[in-house]
Amino acid sequence: MRLAPIAAVALLAAGCAGASSHVRADTARYPISLSGVVRDTNGDLAGGPQLQRVGAFSDSYTSWAMFWTLIPLWNRTRDVSEAVNQRVAAAGGDAVVNFTTVARPCISNVLTFIGLLPGCTDVEVSADIVRLVRPEAGGAASAAGGPGRPR
């Protein structure tokens, strides 16, 4: 009988707080690459010295969910298309490379150890906006890495 409350607490504590989201770019007019390489107009690889960094892109948001993460509350999906389109156009760029996604648990998840309550995940995305320097020289992409982002 004494085990019942302990079991109930264990069950509640076993539930997870947190949240999940999906980063999308469904209407982006520019190529967005998670690597440092894109394809030029002809479809050849372009990277390294063929890409000149002309700006940076970043975005951040917090996704929320509750009831053991089963019920999404806010920012279940984040479409970065419009932000990318605006910033690449403003920078005079051709593409976005080195697109990096960082996820962090919210500090409140520690306090929300009972999964019934809301939990969240902080997400940051960042990338380089680049311009194709020599579109006619396609196919000579460097083997690795991209502009302006040391590993």
Partner 1 sequence: MKAGWLAALALLTGCATVSSTANFLGTSNPVLLGPTDRVRSGAGPRLAATRLRGFETEAFHSFVQQANYGGVGLSSTTSYTTDLKLDAAAQGVLGLDRSLDIRVTDLNPKSRGNLMSLRVSVLVEGEVVRVGGAP
Total residues binding partner 1 (CB under 8 A): 68
Binding mask 2-41 for partner 1 (x = CB under 8 A): -----------xxxxxxxxxxxxxxxxxxxxxxxxxxxxx
Binding mask 70-89 for partner 1 (x = CB under 8 A): -----------x--x-----
Copy the structure tokens of residue 142.
């460097």
Beta bridge partners of 129: 55, 96
User: How far, in Å, CA of 18 to CA of 120, rounded?
Assistant: 5
**Closer residue to partner 1, CB minimum distance, 87 or 141:** 141
Q: Is 106 in the site for partner 1 (CB under 8 A)?
A: yes
Q: What angle do CA 84, 90, 92 make, to 5 degrees?
A: 100
Residues 126, 23: contact at Cβ < 8 Å?
A: no
Q: Is 66 in the site for partner 1 (CB under 8 A)?
A: no
**Closer residue to partner 1, CB minimum distance, 7 or 34:** 34
Among 66, 87, 123, 129, binds partner 1 (CB under 8 A): 123
Q: Is 105 in the site for partner 1 (CB under 8 A)?
A: yes
Q: Is 118 in the site for partner 1 (CB under 8 A)?
A: no
Among 57, 64, 66, 99, binds partner 1 (CB under 8 A): 99
Residue 37 burial by Cβ neighbours in a 10 Å radius (0-12, 13-18, 19+): buried
The backbone region for 149, taken as left when phi is positive above 0, alpha when psi lies in -120 to 50, beta otherwise, is beta
Q: Provide the binding-site residues for partner 1, judged by CB under 8 A.
A: 13-43, 45-47, 63, 69, 81, 84, 94-95, 98-107, 109-110, 113, 115, 119, 121, 123, 132, 135, 139, 141-146, 149, 151
